[in-house]
């Protein structure tokens, strides 16, 4: 380094050892009235703790450049289901300078298990860009000035690797954490292709076979198994059974979620009374914080009841298409049903 910068060789000093301790020593010698400094931090993993950044900010005379390992460091520590070791939690507490990050990074979900009991689980709610924004907001709270935007560094595979922050400026991020939607369609219509919801809700259980797609019905096998286990909602096995005790469940879930309706039945089964279907729909309309996916193979009854049901933007109506033969279900309903939002193909 001295050979590269001979003009400053008398002012270049190389230190080996604890970088944090040495940096704090240097900071303590700075004079606000006459000194100015630039600090470049390229941490190993997550070694730079937030308290050190506070010490730098408090001098008010240091221009800080920091390489933030948001991808190779932070994101790797954040398990999808929040199953972090206590050691990793404490490490992230020190890096972020607060303990509230966990509540901001993870959402809590409640779902009904196969036995009809509610289970609560966590799911990571942020991506890399969200994490950059969060870290910037933390740093913006301790530094006087901020740069317009950070420099995103990528590895040789063009994946996000680290973020270069000059004085820890906030980056404007366009985009969201919403689920992406894919569309297929022709000149006159579109179908939204979606997967099953985050949670299931079964106000009806049991069904009958109406097409070849029902031959290997997973719900029938599951219902028989639950019947043998004496689960109260499946005392009738796979016979069609209304479950009025389950009607209010979505209203108890306050956190917005995607709900797949009747994974163990078909709401438009011919033996489900119109009044009961209307009651199910009214619950969906009232639970406007959620999005409901309703799937049926009984497209003719759906068309028959279409104008008798209360519809809302949070209700996605869909039909199952298990083979090319049954594309007719979509074609039959095209421009006839008020809200035909998606289709599910099992063996298309």
pLDDT at 328 over 70: no
pLDDT tens, residue by residue, 166-197? 443 333 333 333 332 222 222 222 233 333 44
Domain count for the chain, please give it: 2
pLDDT at 195: 39
Average of pLDDT values for 29-35?
83
pLDDT at 266: 94
Interatomic CA distance for residues 267 and 225, integer angstroms: 22
Are both 59 and 112 inside the same structural domain? yes
Are both 154 and 200 inside the same structural domain? no
Q: pLDDT tier at 271 (50, 70, 90 boundaries)?
A: very high
pLDDT at 162: 53
Interatomic CA distance for residues 114 and 239, integer angstroms: 17
Q: pLDDT tier at 288 (50, 70, 90 boundaries)?
A: very high
Range of the domain at 109: 6-166
Average of pLDDT values for 130-152?
80
Are both 20 and 131 inside the same structural domain? yes
Interatomic CA distance for residues 119 and 343, integer angstroms: 28
Are both 144 and 194 inside the same structural domain? no
* Domain end (from 107, 142, 166): 166
Average of pLDDT values for 84-96?
88
pLDDT at 116: 66
Average model confidence (pLDDT) across the chain: 77
* Domain end (from 123, 138, 166): 166
Q: pLDDT tier at 143 (50, 70, 90 boundaries)?
A: confident
pLDDT at 348 over 50: no
**Dihedral (Cα; 53, 56, 61, 65), 10-degree rounding:** -50
With a threshold of 0.85, does the pTM exceed it? no
Are both 80 and 160 inside the same structural domain? yes
Are both 262 and 296 inside the same structural domain? yes
Note whether 277 and 311 are within 8 A (CB).
no
Residues above pLDDT 70, as percent of the chain:
77
Residues above pLDDT 90, as percent of the chain:
20
Q: pLDDT tier at 284 (50, 70, 90 boundaries)?
A: very high
Rg over alpha carbons for the chain, rounded to the nearest Å, is 29
Query: Is 245 inside a domain boundary?
Result: yes
Interatomic CA distance for residues 316 and 190, integer angstroms: 13
Are both 17 and 83 inside the same structural domain? yes
* Domain end (from 103, 133, 166): 166
Q: What is the DSSP letter of 206?
A: B
Using alpha carbons, select from 245, 250, 210, 241 the residue that is nearest to residue 223.
Answer: 241
Q: pLDDT tier at 65 (50, 70, 90 boundaries)?
A: confident
Instruction: Tell me which of 108 and 348 has the higher pLDDT.
Output: 108
Beta strands in 241-332 (DSSP E): 241-242, 258-261, 291-296, 315-321
pLDDT at 276 over 80: yes
């Amino acid at each position: 380094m001295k050979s590269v910068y001979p003009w400053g060789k008398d002012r270049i000093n190389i230190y080996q050892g604890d970088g944090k301790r040495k940096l704090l020593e240097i900071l303590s010698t700075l004079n606000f009235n006459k000194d100015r400094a630039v600090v470049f931090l390229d941490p190993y993993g997550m070694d730079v703790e937030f308290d050190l950044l506070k010490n730098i900010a408090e001098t008010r005379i240091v221009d800080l450049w920091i390489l933030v390992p948001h991808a190779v460091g932070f994101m790797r520590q954040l398990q999808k289901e929040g199953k972090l070791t206590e050691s990793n939690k404490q490490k992230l507490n020190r890096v972020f300078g607060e303990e509230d990050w966990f509540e901001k990074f993870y959402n809590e979900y409640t779902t009904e298990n196969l036995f009809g009991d509610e289970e609560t689980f966590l799911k990571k709610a942020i991506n890399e860009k969200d994490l950059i924004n969060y870290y910037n907001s933390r740093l913006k709270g301790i530094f006087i000035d901020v740069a317009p935007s950070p420099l995103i560094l990528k590895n040789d595979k063009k994946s996000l690797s680290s973020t270069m922050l000059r004085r820890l400026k906030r980056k404007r991020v366009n985009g969201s954490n919403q689920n992406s939607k894919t569309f297929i369609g022709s000149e006159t219509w579109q179908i939204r292709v979606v997967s099953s919801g985050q949670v299931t809700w079964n106000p009806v259980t049991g069904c009958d076979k109406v097409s070849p797609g029902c031959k290997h019905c997973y719900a029938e096998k599951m219902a028989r198994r639950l019947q043998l286990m004496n689960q109260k909602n499946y005392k009738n096995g796979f016979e069609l059974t209304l479950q009025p005790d389950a009607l209010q469940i979505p209203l108890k879930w306050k956190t917005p979620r995607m709900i797949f309706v009747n994974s163990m039945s078909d709401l438009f089964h011919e033996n489900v009374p119109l009044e009961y279907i209307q009651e199910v729909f009214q619950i969906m309309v009232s639970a406007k914080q959620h999005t409901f996916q309703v799937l049926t193979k009984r497209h003719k009854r759906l068309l028959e009841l279409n104008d008798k049901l209360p519809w809302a933007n949070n209700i996605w109506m869909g039909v199952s298409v298990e083979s090319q033969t049954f594309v007719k279900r979509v074609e039959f309903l095209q421009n006839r049903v008020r809200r035909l939002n998606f289709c599910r193909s099992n063996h298309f």
